[in-house]
Structure 1
Amino acid sequence: MFHASVPSRIAGGSDISQLLDHLSHCCSRPRYAFMLLTLIADIARPDGSAGPEVRVGDALVPLRDWLCDALTPMGHRDPRRMALVERVREELRKAAKLTGDAAADDRLVQDEVRARVRASGKTNLSRAASELVKAGLLKRHYQGYRVDHLNRGAQRQAVYTLIGRARALVGAKPAPQRPATRPRQGDLFAC
C-alpha cells in the first residue's frame, strides 16, 4: 500500500548504499570513515582530489587540520572530552597560568583543549585514511616542501583523492537552484 518503487538501475542498491556497505566491511569505524569521505567530497575538485590546503576565509589551512577541526564538534558531549576540559583546567591552574579573569581563562583552556583534540584527531584521521586507502576508496599522497627527515611527511601536506565507490560522493553535490518562474499566458504558445 505505501511501498516506494525502486528504479531497476538501483535495485542492487544505490551508489551511496553500496559505499556504506563497503565501509561496514572494511573499516573499524564506518560512520567516522563516511563522515571523513563526505567532508573530503565537500571540498574536492572535480577530479575528486582535495588538499594540500583548504581556504578558510582569507587563510589557507592544511587539509588534515581542517578535517580534524570539522570533525571535532562530533565529540563535544563525550564524557572523555568533558573530562579533558577539566583536566586541562586543573593543569593550567597548577602551572599558575590562569589569570582569574573567567573569559580569558576559558579561552586559554579552550585553546589548549583544541590543540590536544587536534593532535589526537590527526591520529584518528590517519588511521581512518589508511583503512580507506586499503579499501580502495581513497588515494593519499603528499605535496609541498621536502627536507631530509625521518618522518615521511617532513613539512609536506597530505592530498586525498576519492577513488572507486567513494567517487559517488563527488557527484552528490546539489546543483544550484534557479528561482521558479511561472510562465505568463502569452509565453505558453510563443515560439
Structure 2
Amino acid sequence: MFHAPLPSRAAGGSDVSLLLDQLSHCCSRPRYAFMLLTLIADVARPDGSAGPLVRVDDSLVSLRDWLCDALTPMGHRDPRRMALVERVRDELRKEERLTGDAAADEALVQDEVRMRVRTSGKTNLSRAVSELVKAGLLKRHYQGFRVDHLNRGAQRQAVYTLAGRARALVSAPPLARRPATRPRQGDLFAS
C-alpha cells in the first residue's frame, strides 16, 4: 500500500537508481560493490576502463592496491580493525621492534596494519569484482608481460572496465567550449 514501485526507465528512473536496484539483487555486499564501482569510475578513462596502474601523487600504484587503500578508511571504527591494531602493537613489542619513540612506534604500527588490511582487502575486492563480472556490470582482464603461465596473475595487473548500467557512473568528457567572453552593452546594438 505504501510501497513505491521499483523505478523503471519509462517511469523516469535514473540510471544510478537502476544500478543500485541491480546491485541489491546480485551482490552480497551491495554498498561495498557500489563504492567499488564509483572508485573505478573516478579513475576510468572515457571508455570506462581503469588500470592497470593509477597515478598517486608522483608514483604509479596498481589499481587493486589503490582500490584497497581507498576503501580502507571505511573500516577504521570497526571493532575488528581496532583489535588488529592492538594485536599488531603486541606482536611488534614481543619482537622488540618498537623503539620507545611514540611517534615512530605509531607509524610502524600503522604501516604494518595498512599492509595487513591491504592483503585482506584484496580478498574482499576479488569477491566483489567476481560478483560484478557475473552480473555484467564489470569486465576484467589482465595486462603485463607474462601471458602464458599457470598462475593467471603472473606479474600481470588487473584492468577493470565498467559495463552495462555501471557505465552511467563514468562522467562524460567535457565538451569543447568556446572561450567565454562577456558581452558588453555596446555590442548589443553594434552593426
Q: What's the TM-score, normalizing by structure 1?
A: 0.87
Q: 1:150 Cα shift?
A: 4.0
Question: Equivalences for 1:1-191 in 2 at 5 Å?
Answer: 11-146=11-146, 150-171=150-171, 183-190=183-190
Distance 2:178 2:79 in 1: 45
Q: Secondary structure at the match of 2:28?
A: coil
Q: Aligned residues: percent identity?
A: 86
Q: Secondary structure at the match of 2:171?
A: helix
Equivalent pair of 2:46/2:172 in contact (CA under 8 Å): no
Q: 1:113 Cα shift?
A: 0.1
Distance 2:99 2:178 in 1: 54
Distance 1:95 1:184 in 2: 74
Equivalent pair of 1:54/1:63 in contact (CA under 8 Å): yes
Q: 1:188 to 1:28 in 2, by over 3 A?
A: farther
Q: 1:152 Cα shift?
A: 1.1
Mark the runs of 5 or more structure 1 residues left unpaired by the alignment: 1-7
Aligned to 1:3: none
User: Number of matched residues?
Assistant: 184
Distance 1:12 1:31 in 2: 23
Equivalent pair of 1:141/1:159 in contact (CA under 8 Å): yes
RMSD: 2.6
Distance 2:150 2:165 in 1: 34
Distance 1:160 1:71 in 2: 16
Q: 1:80 Cα shift?
A: 1.0
Letter in 2 for 1:159: V
Equivalent pair of 1:42/1:173 in contact (CA under 8 Å): no
Q: 1:146 Cα shift?
A: 1.2
Q: 1:98 Cα shift?
A: 0.6
Q: 1:151 Cα shift?
A: 2.5
**Partner deviation per Cα, 1:113-149 (whole Å, 9 max, x = no partner):** 0000000100000000000000000000000021775
Distance 1:88 1:12 in 2: 51
Q: Secondary structure at the match of 1:60?
A: strand
Distance 1:44 1:151 in 2: 26
Q: Secondary structure at the match of 2:98?
A: coil
Q: What's the TM-score, normalizing by structure 2?
A: 0.87
Q: 1:182 Cα shift?
A: 5.8
